[in-house]
Amino acid sequence: MNIYPQLQDKSKKISVVGLGYVGLPLALAFARRFSVIGFDINAQRIEMMRMGEDPSRELTADAFTGCDIQFTANPDDLRQAHFHIVAVPTPVDKHKVPDLRP
Ligand SMILES: NC(=O)c1ccc[n+]([C@@H]2O[C@H](COP(=O)([O-])OP(=O)(O)OC[C@H]3O[C@@H](n4cnc5c(N)ncnc54)[C@H](O)[C@@H]3O)[C@@H](O)[C@H]2O)c1
């Protein structure tokens, strides 16, 4: 199903799960055009992002302005989204096997 038109008219939302070095800039880039749910399990990081602060200190406050994004640590909020992008850590062990638990 092509949901692009509904993403454009904001009747459907995108979520980004894991707002670190990769997830936060990605979520903010999408939030310039679409309505985004930004989810992270770390409530302290979510609190900072709500105040327009990047916990990883890569982005300035400007990156947050004009963005349509709801920052949340509540997994129930992910139900509002119809397209999910996952950017959680996947550290590898000595055999280069990723830990997929996150
Ligand atoms: N950083 C890079 O340069 C880079 C480059 C290429 C690929 N990647 C890949 O991108 C992915 C994310 O890496 P990163 O560097 O952004 O990691 P990161 O450690 O900067 O951020 C990960 C975020 O995910 C959150 N998180 C952890 N478990 C979670 C869960 N179960 N649900 C929701 N949020 C959770 C953490 O609180 C953190 O905010 C990894 O798979 C990594 O291999 C990273």
The pLDDT tens digits of the residues spanning 2-26 come to 999 999 999 999 999 999 999 999 9
Q: Kindly state whether residue 67 falls inside one of the protein's structural domains.
A: yes
C-alpha 23 to ligand 1 mean position (Å): 7
Total domains present in the chain: 1
How does pLDDT run across 17-61, given as a tens digit for each residue? 999 999 999 999 999 999 999 999 999 999 999 999 999 999 999
Mutate which of 22, 42, 72, 86 for ligand 1? The one with the most ligand atoms within 8 Å of its CB, which is 22
Quick one: average pLDDT of 95-100?
A: 96
Q: Kindly state whether residue 95 falls inside one of the protein's structural domains.
A: no
Residue list, ligand 1 pocket, CB within 6 Å: 17-23, 39-42, 45, 56, 87-90, 102
Q: Kindly state whether residue 24 falls inside one of the protein's structural domains.
A: yes
| CATH for 8 | 3.40.50.720
Q: Kindly state whether residue 66 falls inside one of the protein's structural domains.
A: yes
The residue segments making up the domain with residue 26 are 4-86
CA distances from 36 to 56, 64, 98, 100 (A): 20, 12, 27, 24
Give the global pTM: 0.95
Q: Kindly state whether residue 71 falls inside one of the protein's structural domains.
A: yes
Q: Kindly state whether residue 74 falls inside one of the protein's structural domains.
A: yes
Q: Kindly state whether residue 93 falls inside one of the protein's structural domains.
A: no
